[in-house]
A and B are shown apart, each in its own frame.
Chain A
Amino acid sequence: ETGVTQSPTHLIKTRGQQVTLRCSSQSGHNTVSWYQQALGQGPQFIFQYYREEENGRGNFPPRFSGLQFPNYSSELNVNALELDDSALYLCASSWDRMNYGYTFGSGTRLTVV
């Protein structure tokens, strides 16, 4: 399987709810990073997983959490959604953690109302 696939493409949630976003990486990609891109901004690093362990975290609260699975899929979970969580969420994977090797998915557009 080639490319990085994210689901769903669009999602609307109510403030206070919980959401799970999914990412399916290329086979062999043992590193996955998640980014949040607010409107008019560049992507902002949330966290990275390497071989199913968290390997770095940006300036995001603990209600943002993740999982990486042995089958090269991963999840981003956000609890207690706030209006400011509305953004495009991007997943990027690579096989060796090298930045130039990242393949990005098309993202999930989350709207919190």
Chain B
Amino acid sequence: DQQVKQNSPSLSVQEGRISILNCDYTNSMFDYFLWYKKYPAEGPTFLISISSIKDKNEDGRFTVFLNKSAKHLSLHIVPSQPGDSAVYFCAASIGSQGNLIFGKGTKLSVKP
């Protein structure tokens, strides 16, 4: 019973274009959402987060959108760069200190 779902195992994008990674959740108690990036042989690195009181949060090239009614969030990367190639994990928690529930990840490949 997966509470956080990333239905696309992989995504390939051309350098300079937009990458859109999607995430769905089922538990309506989740109110804090995060995206992590993971390179091979490294631990996940925090990228960006959003609280349920917002519907958008931006940090440079990265923007996270939250649609609470659809229980859906997405991460936009504009413009995509080859260094963005990694596995991206969506995670959710109840409160900003709750334990993280992760999705299975989406492998992003940005081609030069």
Which residues of A does B touch, CB under 8 Å? 4, 33, 35, 40-45, 48, 56, 58, 90, 92, 97-107
Contacts and interface: CB of A to CB of B under 8 A. Distances in A.
Given A99-B32, A106-B42, A43 B89 contact: yes
B21 interface: no
Contacts, number: 58
A111 to B, nearest CB: 16
B102 A4 contact: no
Contacts of B104: 40-42
B80 to A, nearest CB: 22
Contacts of B99: 33, 45, 48, 56, 58
22 contacts: A4-B43, A33-B100, A42-B89, A43-B89, A43-B100, A43-B102, A45-B99, A45-B101, A48-B99, A56-B99, A90-B44, A92-B43, A98-B96, A99-B34, A99-B91, A99-B96, A99-B97, A100-B34, A102-B100, A104-B36, A106-B41, A106-B43
Contact of B43 (A41, A44, A104): A104
Contacts of B6: 42
B46 A44 contact: no
